[in-house]
Structure 1
Amino acid sequence: MKRSLDQLLTTIDVDPHAFSVCRIQTGWRMTFPAFDAVTVHFVLRGSGHLQVGASPPIPFSQSSVLIVPTSEQHWVGEVSDLAEVREAADRCAVLGDGLVEFTAGSGADDTLMLCGALSAPYQGGLGFFDLLRAPTAGDIVTGVIPASVFDAMANEITHAGFGTQAMCQALMKQGLIALLRDRWERQTELSGGATFHLRLSKALAAIIGNPAAPHTVDSLASLSGMSRASFSDHFSKTFGQGPIDFVQKTRLRIGARLLRTTDLPIKVIAQTAGYAGPRPFSRAFRAAYDCGPADYRACPDGENIRASSQYVSRQVSDRPDQ
């Protein structure tokens, strides 16, 4: 089962962008606009409530991770109607070598958060939250990520300087992988135990290990030792998508990764990812990523992450330190 998870991580984007530190005084509430990216808040100190959209507020405590889906406004802090309210960008300053500090209140950090963004899965991409399946109303996770990760984040913020943003992003990635591991193991228990996942892992290994193979539902079911109907049903329940959809997303994700990390010709990448040539690969890639492979290679960071970064940049330039 562990090897199956390791294989999945090779095709999933677990690449958080740490963009801000939020300090919220008791009795205050900080509001955030809707982002075209999943927002993740690591609570380093304090407690309060999270409200996403019109959903009821959810309480959280220290060492929680608050997960907010794409395109959802949300607020964090005091739940009382008497709370003072401040937009995140109303009071901001540059902290360290790339992080922005948002403050609600006098500057007291009764609640202290490290905030980041994860790009939303493209139409044809396999994203981190395809497996986490974060609910549309937001999610709060406690007791999964080691305390040492939160302590290291707090230490980086306290001694912010050269390399702080890069270190925070590495720590966020470590925490998110721990979160994924926990969800995977708990999902195994809910889905019938390790034996069931060992069966599916054979299909996963075949898809990821040889994406160019002519995979079909029948061939993958046979590898898993299951009937076609049973395999399709269990696969869809586990991963929230059909086997062939998973194959296509995996091929595109592998192609995208090769575009980002190698200088291989697009023709070679297309064949490696399971396409007959560069033209069908380019058509599928453009449909999923809204740009061709060459354009993606030239600027591979993704519009969703840049959207949150540009928002932060605008606030710093428009509102100097107050």
Structure 2
Amino acid sequence: MRADLLDRLLVTLAVRLRAFSVCRIQRGWQLGFSPFEAITIHYVLRGTGSLRVGAGPWQAFAPHSVIIVPARLPHALGEAEEVVGAARAEDHCLLHGDGLVSFMAGDGTPDTLLVCGQISASHDGALGLFELFQSPMIQAFSSDAPLRGTFELMLAEVAAPSLGTQAMTELLMKQCLIVMLRQHLLGGDGASPLLRALQEPKLARAIIAVLEHPGAPYSVDSLASLAGMSRTSFAVRFSEVFGQGPMDFVQRVRLRIAARLLTATDLPVKIIAGSVGYASRSAFSRVFESTYGLTPSDFRSFGGGDEVEPERRENPELAPSETSQEP
């Protein structure tokens, strides 16, 4: 994959990764989780164990691993065999400190320690990268990798929680997540859902164009031409790979970039609207509010919508046009 595509993908990966818990598991125990609407990410700070999602097989994990669990699936962590006991997370929950909670399995000294976060389905970034994860994934980092220090910092934070622990933990978790994505996109496991979806040179040409010039007047025909494919073949293949139509993708990229500009700059809404391809502020505001549940000005006031979850409501009148500048 071209380095410029990777850079653009990471830039547009404007997900909000929220740290929410610390998991403590004693050897021989299992800790079970009911399905979450959000994607769950566990960071293994200490100890070993296994992961099981739904009725699938147990998969081993080691220290300094990142575990991604798809949304809306139950999962369990801990001992795969010779189980001494099992606990449901919601039944063994205590306040940990600074906004974090502890889930515990076992009544003795925990052998395995994890810090856990979630990515809301409504904060999945411009490309919907994490929607491509339909099965669990475990990424282990070697003990001498640069990220070892990051895991140690997370361990120190959760071992002695204080003011700012949640914010600091979220920053460290995001760093690990970006490194993991970089490894996958630059030539990791060929079975990675990210690689399968993004390592198609023809589609990549169209993707790069949209990311580099989001305000251009795209249509399915123009994107197909960039990819060197017929209109029908391009539209069908794009939908197969990304689970969305080409113009839906264009709209999501534009709105995600606009959302970042709203929270990271003081640019007027009208200027932001024009920079991402909308002919008027009013047209941009209607589509933005339909997607995020907030006007652009309110979204900026809420600091990116952290306090109010954006809503993705279907509105046929605001469907992207294949020939207009306004998606």
- Please say whether Structure 1 and Structure 2 have the same fold, judged by a TM-score greater than 0.5: yes
Root mean square deviation, CA, Å: 3.3
> Which residue does the alignment assign to 1:244?
247
Aligned residue for 1:88?
Answer: 89
Q: Taking structure 1 as reference, are residues 224 and 126 closer, same or farther at Cα in structure 2, changes over 3 Å only? A: closer
Are the counterparts in 2 of residues 33 and 73 from structure 1 also a CA contact under 8 Å?
yes
Cα 1:113/1:122, change in 2 over 3 Å: closer
Is the partner of 2:161 in helix, strand or coil?
coil
**Could you tell me how far apart the structure 2 residues matched to 1:123 and 1:45 are?**
28
* Other-structure match for 2:153: 152
Correspondence for 1:316: none
Give the CA deviation at 1:189. Answer: 6.5
Shift of the 236–185 alpha-carbon distance from structure 1 to 2, 3 Å rule, reads farther
Distance 2:126 2:200 in 1: 25
TM-score when normalising by structure 2: 0.77
What is the distance in 1 between the residues matched to 2:5 and 2:230?
21
Which residue is 2:117 aligned to? 116
Aligned length: 300
* Aligned amino acid, residue 216 of structure 1: S
**Residue 112 of structure 1, CA deviation:** 0.7
Matched to 2:29, the amino acid is W
2:289 to 260, 268, 286: 286
Map of 1:140 onto structure 2: 138
Residue 220 of structure 1 aligns with which residue? Answer: 223
Structure 1: which amino acid aligns with 2:151?
A: F
Deviates more, 1:256-265 or 1:34-43: 256-265
| 8 A contact 1:93–1:101 mirrored in 2 | yes
| Matches of 1:262 and 1:277, distance apart in 2 | 19
Name the residue aligned to 1:186. Answer: 187
Aligned mates of 1:242, 1:55 — CA distance in 2 = 31
**Greater helix share, structure number:** 1
Identity %: 46
The runs of 5 or more residues in structure 2 that have no matched partner are: 311-327
Q: Higher RCO, 1 or 2 (CA under 8 Å, sep at least 6)?
A: 1
Partner of 2:319: none
Change over 3 Å in CA distance of 1:34–1:188 after alignment to 2: closer
Give the SS at the match of 2:71: coil
2:157 & 2:224 partners in 1: Cα distance?
48
The residue that corresponds to 1:54 in the other structure is 55
Alignment of 1:11-26 (within 5 A): 11-26=12-27
TM score, norm. by length of structure 1: 0.78
Inter-partner Cα distance in structure 2 for 1:23 and 1:166 = 20
Measure how far apart 1:15 and its partner are: 3.2
Q: CA deviation at 1:215?
A: 1.3
Equivalents in 1 of 2:235, 2:150: separation in Å? Answer: 38
State the 1:114 CA deviation: 0.9
